[in-house]
Structure 1
């Protein structure tokens, strides 16, 4: 999936690096102990409820180049078609073998079975 931010195209990849980064960004502390193994599980409910903060984190973790969180946040705040961006990101994640593998092992369901988002218009991102 490619996303155009500030005139530049960025490839979003939902593989191992994405899962590692998401685990780091959305991990939690339990009794003072950091757990970085549940980032994907924390992201999925946020995507299902159209949480723009979670969308920003998912994009930041999936982007293939060094882009700051601030650039991603400003893009979402000022330029993004949020309805369709949620659809496109969930679709791209649904196409990821690794995302579906992890979700299936933990929840018994794939991304498509968990997150039911329907497009309001045509896709705004370009295909790979």
Structure 2
């Protein structure tokens, strides 16, 4: 999936590395021990159109972009987006079609 931030088109990837990056940003940590769960926590919030989670997901999916957009740049994009619902829907669609994530996403649906 491609997204245009500050007149620069970036590639978002939703594979295994995305899951690892999301665990770093949104995962659980207890007494300094990481337990992952970034995907488990983020997918329901994405379905509820939580903009902070959308920002975390975009940031995590942009792991391969050099230089990687900052969280502030992504937050500003979300704050100023004219059709935010479309962005949510496109990200959700890409996640649902990603080989690495689609099974987890399917099993989390009510």
Q: TM-score, normalised by structure 2?
A: 0.87
* Alignment RMSD (CA, Å): 1.8
Distance 1:90 1:77 in 2: 19
Q: Unaligned 5+ residue runs, structure 2? A: none
Other-structure match for 2:101 = 99
Other-structure match for 1:59 = 58
Map 1:72-111; keep pairs closer than 5 Å. 72-101=74-103, 103=104, 110=106
Distance verdict in 2 for CA 1:91–1:27, change over 3 Å: same
Other-structure match for 1:40 = 39
1:34 Cα offset (Å) = 3.0
Q: Unaligned 5+ residue runs, structure 1? A: 104-108, 116-128
1:51 Cα offset (Å) = 0.3
Other-structure match for 1:122 = none
1:80 Cα offset (Å) = 4.8
1:3 aligns with 2:3: yes
Higher deviation after alignment, 33-42 or 55-64: 33-42
Q: TM-score, normalised by structure 1?
A: 0.76
Largest Rg, 1 or 2: 1
Number of aligned positions between the proteins: 107
Deviations 1:78-99 (A, max 9, x none): 1352111100000001110100
| Consecutive aligned runs of 4 or more in structure 1 exceeding 3 Å deviation | none
Other-structure match for 1:118 = none
